[in-house]
Structure 1
């Protein structure tokens, strides 16, 4: 005889089956069987957890308790993936979890079934570097130095370790700048080709790495300046010369020098009325609207040798009739 049925899980009381022999067949005593139906195991994980790492290390011991039911009592095992990896028997409670996000999967198994649940443990970095002052854009003239500075601290005491590494954007990736490992990046004698370069700094603390905002370098070209003279600068006593400065871009300011000394009041693009009385070396320093400076080449004003004898300047009107006196040169 075969008896088949589907008992309900967790039925109370247990099922009882009594088997009795039929009179027309083999006679015998009845037999009673008790059938116990155990429920399948269940497991409920804790809610996702967020904790802070301990000071001085990059992990945190985390305790938790999953809710497990089942008869017989299920055995537990765990698997860790993500910031922390590993596996073993039990729930994994009491282990050290690394900074970052770890997924914990717990499995409950008995003779009836195997069930699982998962949750995450997020360990935040208690010593994460924090940028308090971001690098700022810089505008300089070609040939000048440019500096970028970042200010960063770490919790909890603002005295944790921070390693700096400045990086340059090449259009597709950030690349480390050799030797640029301080809070300030100094670029010496920048060139026009560095215009619109972008820089950022990588900050590495005890456990984690963060990045500053990027800052852009703007390089203004130096102005150009060229001096011309109205006549050749080797002068005779009666000649008057003007020096003219041609600049690009225009609209800037001028400071003229004679023999290295500033000429008072000479602030235009021309220096006029120069005679043999003004023999010397002249130059001009030009500053454009961006504050970029260019210095001209020197113009040397000299006296021109002559076989004529000049009375210069004419001492008074009565002597103006003298004109020039020709000196007969004897050899």
Structure 2
């Protein structure tokens, strides 16, 4: 089994922006477990054994990330949410790569995304973030020649970044991230523990199978939902989402004696892969979903690091009545990949659905 890839700084930035929001689903809060732990490799190993890790899939053409909220901290904001990301390797996330295994060149392993995020942030800052002693540093090594910690915080961007699978600390399998800065005078090495899985196990970490959407709307880049949802979350534990193929979206909460509605219009309806209607009505298809406001907010964390219309080319909100809210986002450029959130919703009886 062998994996080694070379990344550019822009690829590391993209991967960090993608992994960061997804890691918050599995960590159960905005603060990662690695930031709270004391030093010791035992703590790092226990994170994976507790079932809090996410799954990464590698083959010569694709990198896939599968994460489920609530694995490490049931009851958190991301509990019940599934997230699936897919990135192209050839002409995509890697400048060059080599992936080999006995399982048709497929490699699958479990990893803590919160630790991967910290390593990626450290590389982007030229090692400046490696100052606080934490559990992740039990396996992260920084070798500096002729430099001090103060200098590391102001280093230039790394000139070479390599990601690979290797064994560290007595044969422990790790995903390693190595970078060189300041003309090679400073080297930064990270080793994140992983659990190697059989390739066939990936079938248990694929996106959930759902019915065809009733409504699909492309979200507006100039009006992000995150700001509105954060405010509504502080008022009500549930949000009603009303969508229409006429290009309309309403976010509604119901309180004691009061109702608040936020309207979005002139959205772009997406008709591909849409559920076929049984009736002959000429009225635009409509759908109402009831979701937990904290889960709705959790699937929008990416809007804090990736701007719609720039890092994210487009985002489509898909509504499946009484089943699922799906947020599908295409990265920019479009051929590099996508990520998708699957948010469970509450059941609404026919008398509760009032169009």
Q: Could you state the TM-score of these two structures normalised by the residue count of structure 1?
A: 0.21
Higher RCO (Cα < 8 Å, 6 or more apart): 2
- The structure with the largest strand share of the pair is 1
Q: Rg bigger for which structure?
A: 1
TM-score by length of 2: 0.20
- Structure number with higher helix proportion: 2
